[in-house]
Amino acid sequence: MITFSEVTKRYPDGTVAVDELSLEIPAGKITVFVGPSGCGKTTTLRMINRMVEPSSGTIRLDGENISASDPPTLRRRIGYVIQHGGLFPHRTVVDNVATVPYLLGWDRRKARRRAMELLDLVGLPASFAKRYPYQLSGGQQQRVGVARALAADPPVMLMDEPFSAVDPVVRKSLQEELVRLQAELHKTIVFVTHDIDEAVRLGDQVCVLKVGGRIGQYDTPANLLAAPADDFVAQFLGEDRGVRRLAFLSSDGLPLTTDRLVAAGTMPAGLEWALVVDADGRPAGWATAGDPDLRPCARTFTVGVDSLRSALDSAILNPSGIAVGVDADGRVVGLADQAEITLRLRMPVATR
């Protein structure tokens, strides 16, 4: 756990970048600092590995005041990832990843073996090991940056806008990769971004900072979206926060109906749409009154596994405007209309 107690950073020119910040960053979770440009995110992050010294206040890592430990020793416990990966251009990928093990005096073969394991862990083929950073795409460089930060297996990882220099598709895959890695590694990750979508996607907890280095709100993504503390936080979250909140709500417990589920060749009178289910229980397509052809069932959601956002997506993408809930084997469980899904937003907050 990392604890900030009344930490202030005033730069020599008088700028207060962080103002009396007190918060706890839990071990083994992803905590995201998010906020507008200049709100003190990077300063906060860099105070954790003593690249920036606080003007006042105390930062503790697992109860130990970090000002008492010498910076190189401290940094061995803290991996650091920055935009563009921050790779050494004149070193090969494998040597970049092995940087810290070399510094720690590991045997070269052991350090390289570890580097190769890490390249695999971050999803890069072994054939990339001998390349130089300029021979990689932005997203691949970023993966190498993550592998390098993980090399000495530090319990803490600081990540400063690590994915902001890549296009949205690569960015999404890097985010998914980080979530996958974290499920395996359980690091204490402190992540800085100015992108609120990235923050709510990655964070177990999100700290919204205001310019001047004060906390707007420190909460789970679900709570932030459901109940922003003030207008600043609400505006920062954006106007579509209601819809985004659906991603944090489970489809478990969504009332499902079965009266529109029919066998091929039957169309109940009085219904505009019905879902034809095959002999195996899977959706065969939508039947609509007066049309002999079935329309494809464009999207289903897995009940209790997928979020209400997936359920809403299913409703929107199906020609009937009705969501199709299936079980883990893809067999139809029941249907839900859009109104029923969005009604769940008014129910008490559920967290991940």
Which residues form the interface with ligand ATP (CB under 6 A)? 11, 13, 15, 17, 35, 37-43, 194
Is there a contact between 60 and 102 (Cβ–Cβ < 8 Å)?
no
How near is the Cβ of 157 to ligand ATP at its closest, in Å?
A: 17
Q: Give the N- to C-terminal CA distance of the chain in Å, as an integer.
A: 20
Residue/partner pairs of 228-233 with CB below 8 Å, 24 or more apart: 232/208, 233/208
Comparing CB distances to ligand ATP, the nearer of 38 and 281 is: 38
User: Quick one: 57 or 123, whose CB is closer to ligand ATP?
Assistant: 57
Q: Which of 8/342 has CB closer to ligand ATP?
A: 8
Radius of gyration of the chain (CA): 25
DSSP string for 59-113? EEETTEEGGGS-HHHHHHTEEEEEGGGG--TTS-HHHHHTHHHHHTT--HHHHHH
Beta carbon nearer to ligand ATP, 236 or 248: 236
Q: Which is nearer to ligand ATP, 38 or 123 (CB)?
A: 38
Nearer to ligand ATP, 171 or 344 (CB): 171
The minimum distance between CB 212 and ligand ATP, in angstroms, equals 9
Q: What is the residue type of 79?
A: G
Nearest approach, Cβ of residue 178 and ligand ATP (Å): 19
Least spacing, CB of residue 48 vs ligand ATP, in Å: 13
Least Cβ distance, residue 11 to ligand ATP (angstroms): 3
Orientation angle between helical segments 108-121 and 138-150, nearest 10 degrees:
130
Contacts of 345 (CB under 8 A, 6+ apart): 242, 245, 246, 249, 308
Whichever of 52 and 294 has its CB closer to ligand ATP, that residue is: 52
Q: Shortest approach of ligand ATP to residue 34 CB, angstroms? A: 9
Which residue type, as a one-letter code, is found at position 271? L
Within 10 angstroms of residue 270's Cβ, the number of other Cβ atoms is: 6
- Least separation, in Å, of the C-beta of 86 and ligand ATP? 15
Beta carbons of 110 and 152 less than 8 angstroms apart: no
